A and B are shown apart, each in its own frame.
Chain A
Amino acid sequence: MLRLEVRPQPSKAWGLASPLLALVITVVIGVCLFAALGKDPVRGLQVFFWEPIKSPYALSELMVKATPLLIIALGLAVCFRSNVWNIGAEGQYILGAIFAAGVALTADKSTGPWIVPAVLAAGVLGGLLWAGITALLRDRFNANEILVSLMLVYVAVQVLNYLVYGPWKDPMGYNFPQTKTFERVTQIPRLMDGSRVNIGLLMALGGVVAVWLFLFRTRAGYAQIVGGLAPAAARYAGFSSRRALWTALLISGGAAGLAGALEVAGPIGQLTPYVPAGYGFAAIIVAFVGRLHPVGIVFSAILMSMFYIGGELAQSRLGLPKSITGVFQGLLLFALLACDTLIAYRLVWKK
């Protein structure tokens, strides 16, 4: 019978190989799924893995989608490493978008370009506040952060709906539930003509460096990691678990809020009920597949962005529902968790 045996040391090699094996497993299941649905599997693979990278324009769209995923997942990596289970990044993202929209809507013809930093700062503030509620309730009342942060996602969606169906609805918008289009001056500056990539990408890459430095080169980051791995050791070392909780939630909330601001004042350009696109949930998978390591997360964010674009193409080219993206996202995380077993255990054959 096949049995698992504990390795004396966790395997470094499997730590890197496991996400790749998980991707292979997901692709194999995907191919079977395409075949079962009577679609050409080669065409399916093309749509997911070739079309999104085949031209400079496609690549730039890939980056547009990868940016919010990357920013949110970086924050979540700090959170999960601290063993704080914030799964409500989607709600923090929505609040970031709402706060950013609130500032963007004040702009008029005479507003100067200072509005862009103000929009982004408002977004961060929105995310901070929303994650701060979870932190406060956990810290003061010991309320489970998984459930609280998730419930706040549903609340955030309703706050968004209230605003776009109510006070913020564009009076000239033919009664559509959306705000007026933001003034041009609030538009997040683009990096080049002819593509929608904006400075959000640079901020995301800056975030990669910042999170790497924080986690691996500062005392505070070290305290987060130790607190997550061995709470008793952290206590003994005098690292405050309350401080770690607040740090983790505020970093991830602020990051998610920033992503929301970049999205609403960037590619979207107005507040609509379609702002929540599931990035907050997908980023959880991005963080895990990227090994909770800033550099790994860059690759997993690009992969997840491919899933998003592939899903849209699968809808238009192959006539499959766009939600196929969600199927692959879930499968990838399942496969990764199963493969991760090989890091701490090895398979042995025993009678």
Chain B
Amino acid sequence: MEPTALLIAATLNAGTVLAIAALGLLINEKAGIVNLGAEGMMLCAALAGFATVVHTGSTLLGFVAGMAAGAALSAIFGVLVIWLNTNQYATGLALSLFGAGFSAFAGTRFVQEKLPEQVVHAIPVLADIPFLGNALFRHHPMVYACVALTLGLIWFLYRTRAGLVLRSVGESPESAHALGYPVRRIRLMAVMAGGALCGLAGAYVSTVYTPLWVEGMIAGKGWIALALTTFATWRPARVLLGAYLFGGVTMLQFHLQGIGVNLPSQLLTMLPYLATVVVLVLISRNPTWIRVNMPGSIGKPFYPGS
């Protein structure tokens, strides 16, 4: 029983990282922008968060620093693609390559650093329930915040006027422009919000999930988060479920090793990446399924008056 409870707990924790980043990317894509720079932003944010916690001892400040780093980098990306009309794929790729290089460069002196002892989180009473307590109620507050974020995003996107405007900008920027909405400013705000969430996910990785700093520690989570938005056909609730599914795949490797399955560790490490490919194939094979749900102007530049 207990190993299963711990597997569920680890799954939720791993899924939280992916979900926060993927929800951020979802906001971008709902506004019509694809940011392939997620991996780079998460790396820089992971470093920013880690360095902040090393200096201040406050995890909360670490999260703030991570969000700021993500938002700042995505602002550069946003200005390039929205105002200078650069290719979104190439610019995002530049951000990922730059982020990987910059975080490795700036992070060299943090490799040996250690973080203060982690606080144990447990919800009183609930945490003592057998099985469920270990599985659900001994998590970092971020795990619950992530569920709240998903619900909040559903409410924002589908129940508020601002959410409607955001989606209209992603569906048909020409119409939104004709109605008098500042399309480019809205897109920039969406890009920065998405960057901040990617940053939060990155900082969570380096300060809570695996509290250390090593070069390239995001290990493709940003790219998996990008795949998750497609997998979820751009629906927030499905993003969260998909993230937990992928978290489960990631954690399965440790579980399998724990129960004595004798497979090469490299094969197990491959699993999340292979799962991403398989899931992309399964979801993409039905073109109408994708087309019906995909924001209409995703990846397309918009320049008023051209």
Q: Which residues of B contact A146 (CB under 8 A)?
A: 36, 89
Question: Is the beta-carbon distance between A327 and B277 smaller than 8 angstroms?
Answer: no
Secondary structure call for the A interface:
helix
Q: Is B60 an interface residue (CB 8 A)?
A: no
Q: Which of A159, A325, A341 contacts B84 (CB 8 A)?
A: A341
In this complex, what residue of B is CB-closest to A165? B266
The answer to the question of A245 belonging to the interface, with a C-beta cut-off of 8 Å to chain B, is no
Determine whether B12 belongs to the interface, using a CB cutoff of 8 Å to chain A. no
Q: Which of A142, A159, A284, A327 contacts B285 (CB 8 A)?
A: A142
User: Is the Cβ of A144 less than 8 Å from the Cβ of B266?
Assistant: no
What residues of chain A lie closer than 8 Å to B85, measured between beta carbons?
Answer: 4, 341, 344-345
In the complex, are the beta carbons of A147 and B223 less than 8 A apart? Answer: yes
In the assembled complex, the Cα of A288 lies from the Cα of B91 at a distance in Å of 11
Take A327-B105, A334-B76, A340-B86 as given contacts and tell me if A143 and B94 are in contact as well, using a CB distance cutoff of 8 Å: no
A158-B253 Cα distance, complex, nearest whole Å: 14
In the assembled complex, the Cα of A284 lies from the Cα of B92 at a distance in Å of 13
* A147 lies within 8 A of B227 (CB): yes
Given contacts A147-B276, A341-B86, contact A158 B98 (CB under 8 A): no
Contact A331-B223, Cβ < 8 Å, known A143-B284, A158-B269, A159-B266: no
- B14 part of interface (Cβ distance < 8 Å): no
The answer, yes or no, to whether A236 is at the interface (CB within 8 Å) is no
Contact between chains at B97 and A321 (CB < 8 Å)? no
Docked complex Cα distance between A140 and B277 (Å): 13
Contact B284 A325 (CB under 8 A): no
Q: Are B99 and A337 in contact (CB under 8 A)?
A: no
Known A-B contacts A158-B269, A334-B98, A337-B94; the reply to A151 vs B223 at CB < 8 A is yes
Chain B, residue nearest A87 (CB)? B93
Docked-complex contact B273 and A137, CB < 8 angstroms: no
Contacts of A162 in B (CB 8 A): 264, 266-267
Q: Interface digits, B278-306 against A, CB 8 Å rule (1 contact, 0 not)?
A: 00110011010010000000000001001
- Within the complex, the shortest CB–CB distance from B302 to chain A, in Å, comes to 13
Asked if A309 is an interface residue, CB under 8 A from chain B, the answer is no
> A152 an interface residue at 8 Å Cβ cutoff?
yes
Residue A125 interfacial (CB < 8 Å): no
A87–B89 alpha-carbon span in the complex (Å):
10
Q: Are A166 and B84 in contact (CB under 8 A)?
A: no
**Which B225-273 residues have a C-beta within 8 angstroms of A?**
226-227, 230, 264, 266-267, 269-270, 273
B164 within 8 A of A: no
Looking at the complex, which one of B91, B105, B281 makes contact with A326 (CB distance below 8 Å)?
B105
Known contacts A142-B285, A147-B223, A321-B104; A154 and B84 CB within 8 A of each other: no
A324 within 8 A of B: yes
* Bound Cα distance A151, B227 (Å): 10
B109, closest chain A residue (CB):
A321
Confirm or deny: A329 has a beta carbon within 8 angstroms of a beta carbon on chain B. Answer: yes
Q: Using an 8 Å CB-CB cutoff, how does the interface string of A125-150 with B read, 1 for contact, 0 for none?
A: 00000000000010011111011101
Closest to A324 in B: B105
Residues in B whose Cβ lies below 8 Å from that of A330: 40, 94-95, 97-102
Whole-angstrom distance between the alpha carbons of A6 and B285 in the complex? 39
- Cβ-defined contact, B230 with A144, below 8 A: yes
Minimal beta-carbon separation of A223 from chain B (angstroms)? 22
Contacts of A325 in B (CB 8 A): 101
Q: Within A331-345, which residues are at the interface with B (CB < 8 Å)?
A: 331, 333-334, 337-338, 340-341, 344-345
Q: Is the CB of B105 within 8 A of A321?
A: yes
User: A158-B266, A162-B266 are contacts. A142–B93 as well, Cβ < 8 Å?
Assistant: no
Interface presence of A285 (CB below 8 A): yes
Q: Tell me, yes or no, whether A241 is within 8 Å of chain B by CB.
A: no
A202 contacts the other chain (CB 8 A): no
What residues on B are CB-neighbors of A281 within 8 Å?
A: 97
Name the residue on A nearest B215 (C-beta). A323
**Is A288 touching B90 in the complex (CB atoms < 8 A)?**
yes
17 contacts between A and B (CB under 8 A): A6-B306, A137-B281, A140-B285, A143-B284, A151-B223, A161-B266, A323-B104, A323-B105, A325-B101, A326-B97, A327-B101, A327-B102, A329-B98, A330-B101, A333-B93, A337-B84, A341-B85
Please report B residues at the A interface, Cβ cutoff 8 Å: 36, 40, 76, 80, 83-87, 89-91, 93-95, 97-102, 104-105, 108, 215, 219-220, 223-224, 226-227, 230, 264, 266-267, 269-270, 273-274, 276-277, 280-281, 284-285, 287, 290, 303, 306
By a beta-carbon cutoff of 8 Å, the part of chain A in contact with chain B is 4, 6, 85, 87, 137, 140-144, 146-148, 150-152, 154-155, 158-159, 161-162, 165-166, 281, 284-285, 288, 320-321, 323-331, 333-334, 337-338, 340-341, 344-345
Q: Give the 9 A-B CB pairs with smallest separation, nearest first.
A: A326-B101, A330-B98, A323-B104, A162-B266, A333-B94, A341-B84, A337-B86, A158-B266, A154-B273
